[in-house]
Chains A and B, each alone.
Chain A
C-alpha cells in the first residue's frame, strides 16, 4: 500500500495558518517543552483539550486546569476510556479532529488513534513539532529506562500463529540502545529488522543514532550492513514509514504466514507511521505492536521550536 499520497504540510512557526488548519477538536498532551505550549496557542479550534499523562509526574499546580483531562490510569486503554467519558464528545466521526502528538507518550497516542478510528473517524490531522535542539547530543534520555513491562499495546494485539520459526520483529530504532536491547531480548527468537531514520531530522543525527543503537547490536544479532535487516525512512515522515513497513511485511509474508512484531522506538512521526500501517493493514492479522513500558518519563527533552509538520491520516 502506498501511503505517500497522503497529505503533509509544513506550518509556520509563527501562526497564520489557513482554514484547512482549523478544527472542531484539538487534543494535545501537556509537557514542559516550549513547542507544545506554543502550538496549543497557535491552533485555531473550537475545543482545545489538554491530556495530562501520569508518567510525567506533574503536580496539580504544574499543569493547566482548564480543559485538561487526566491524569488517569497509566494503562492506555483505561486512560483513553476515561478521557472519552469525561470529554463527552459526540459524533466523533463527523468532527474535524487534530492531535498534537509532540507531548504524547507513545502508548497513549497509539490507543487514542486506535479508538478514534474504531469510533468511525475517517480523517485525522496530526501535528508534530521539532525542537531547535535536544539537550545532550548522544546522551539524551527520554525515559528513565526502568522498563516494568513489555507487552502488546491495547488495540494493537494480533492473532498469532503457533509456528514461530519465521517470526520477525521490526524495530524503529532510536537513540536508546537499552530499550532496543530489551525489546530484542523479549522477542529473542525473532529475526530482527531495524528501521532507521534517514533522512534524519538533522544530518548528524543519523550517525549518532547508529552509534547508540550499535550498542544493541548483540541483541539484534545483525549489523547495519547485513542484507535484508536494515531499512530506512525519513525520521519525520510517517507515510514513508508506513509504506516501507507495508513493503517489508508483504515481502516477508511471501515466506508464509509469519508472526510479526512491531516496535517504534524512535521519533513520534515514525511511531505514527507504525500506527497507520497497523490500523490499515494488520487488524486480525498475526501482527502486534509491542512496547517497553517505563515507569516515568522526563518532562522536557528539548529546547525551542524549529518546524511544525501536519500530517493528514486517512482511514
Chain B
C-alpha cells in the first residue's frame, strides 16, 4: 500500500474515520481516562508524526490515532477497585474458604471474621522492588482500599533477622504468610530476581510458611516464569494478558475492521519511530508491544510511541507518559 490515500475518493472516508476515532477517544477521556487525552494532548502527540510527504504524514497520524483509540488505560479509581478485588478475591477468600471448610462449612459470620482476623495478624504484605517502585506505590492504595493496619506492611529485608549471628532467622516466627503485591509483570524476570532468594530462604527456615505473589496485570508467560523459577506457593494475576494483546502479533486483537486502516503500515511506522526513541526495544520492552497504561505509570512494555518522555536526541511528546526508573527497565 502506498504512502498516502487516494485523494478524492477517500477524502471523505479519512475524515469520517478520524471523527469516529476522536469521538471514541473523547468518550474515554471524559469518562475513565480522567481527561488525559483531550484535544490538545492528542494534537501534541500526533504532531510527533511528521514527514515531508504530507500524504504519508496524514496516513501516519490517522493510524496513530487508531492505536490511541485501542489503548487500555486504568485510572486511579479503577486501580483502586482492582486492588480491592485483589485483597477480597485473591487473599481474603481463600483464607475464608479454608476456615469454613475446616469448621463444617459454618456460616457464622462473626466466627469467620474472628478467625480471619487471626489469620490476617499472621500475614504480612510486601511490595516488589524498592520503595520508590510503582509496585510499592500501589501498596498504599491497597492498604487503604482493604482497610488494613500499617503494621501488616513490611519491606522484604524485615522478614529476616540477623540478631543471632550471621545466619538469618525469621524476624517474626509466628507469621504464616507473606503476600507480595505488584502492579505489572511483563516477563516475570524482575519478580523472579526479587523474590527467588527471599522465598528460598523463607522456605528453608520454615517450609510451612506460605508465600503468595499477586499482580494486577501480567503476561501469561510471566506467571509461568515465576512459577517455574521460584518456590512460590501461589502466583496469580487479576488480568492475564495472552498473545492477543501483542499489538502486531499474529493473533493480535487490534486488527482493525476498517479497510482503510493498514496494520502492516502501522507496524512499520511504530517500529520506525520506536527505533529512534528506544533503539533496543522499539516496540516495547522484550518486544511486548502492549497498549496498556495506568494512572501512576505506563509500563515500558507498551509501545514507546505512547510513553517515551526521556531526554534524548529525539524530541517526543508522549500521550501517556512514563516515569522512568533509575536502575533499568522493568521486566
Contacts and interface: CB of A to CB of B under 8 A. Distances in A.
Given A5-B100, A199-B238, A206-B78, A237 B89 contact: yes
Interface string B235-275: 00011010001000000010000000000000000000000
Main secondary structure of the interface of A (DSSP, over half): mixed
Contacts of A256: none
A137 B244 CA distance: 13
B89 A234 contact: yes
Contacts of A90: none
B238 A210 contact: no
Contacts of B78: 198, 206
Interface in A226-248: 232, 234, 237, 240
Interface stretch (B27-35, B52-60, B129-137, B317-325): B27-35
Given A225-B77, A232-B81, 17 more contacts: A2-B109, A4-B88, A4-B93, A5-B100, A7-B97, A8-B93, A198-B78, A198-B82, A198-B85, A202-B239, A204-B253, A206-B32, A207-B73, A210-B27, A210-B31, A224-B32, A314-B107
B92 A214 contact: no
8 contacts: A4-B92, A7-B100, A137-B253, A199-B85, A204-B253, A210-B28, A224-B31, A225-B34
Interface of A: 2, 4-5, 7-8, 137, 198-199, 202-204, 206-207, 210-211, 214, 223-225, 232, 234, 237, 240, 314
B72 interface: yes
A240 B86 CA distance: 13
Contacts of A234: 85, 89
Q: 4 closest Cβ contacts across the A-B interface?
A: A203-B239, A232-B81, A224-B31, A198-B81
Contacts of B82: 198-199
B103 to A, nearest CB: 11
A202 B72 CA distance: 11
Nearest to B84: A232
Contacts, number: 62
Contacts of A314: 107
Interface string B65-105: 00000001100011001100100110011001100100000
B39 interface: no
A5 B107 contact: yes
Given A199-B239, A203-B217, A203-B239, A5 B31 contact: no
B96 A4 contact: yes
B32 A5 contact: no
A5 B96 contact: yes
Contacts of A225: 31, 34, 77
A303 B239 CA distance: 20
Contacts of B97: 7
Nearest to A231: B81
B112 interface: yes
A211 B112 CA distance: 40
B72, B89, B92, B100: which has the most chain A beta carbons within 10 Å?
Answer: B89
B31 A214 contact: yes
Contacts of B224: none
Contacts of B72: 203-204, 207
A96 B46 CA distance: 61
A4 B113 CA distance: 12
Nearest to B34: A225
B24 interface: yes
A203 B97 CA distance: 26
A43 B67 CA distance: 43
Nearest to B73: A207
Contact of A214 (B27, B93, B112, B238): B27
Contacts of A198: 78, 81-82, 85
A173 B89 CA distance: 21
A5, A7, A232, A240: which has the most chain B beta carbons within 10 Å?
Answer: A5
Nearest to A215: B27
Nearest to A230: B77
Nearest to B80: A232
Contacts of A214: 27, 31
Nearest to B82: A199
Nearest to A138: B24
Given A199-B239, A234-B85, A240-B88, A211 B107 contact: no
Contact of B32 (A204, A207, A237): A207
Contacts of A210: 27-28, 31-32
A314 B31 CA distance: 37
Contacts of B217: 203
A260 B239 CA distance: 33
Nearest to B244: A133
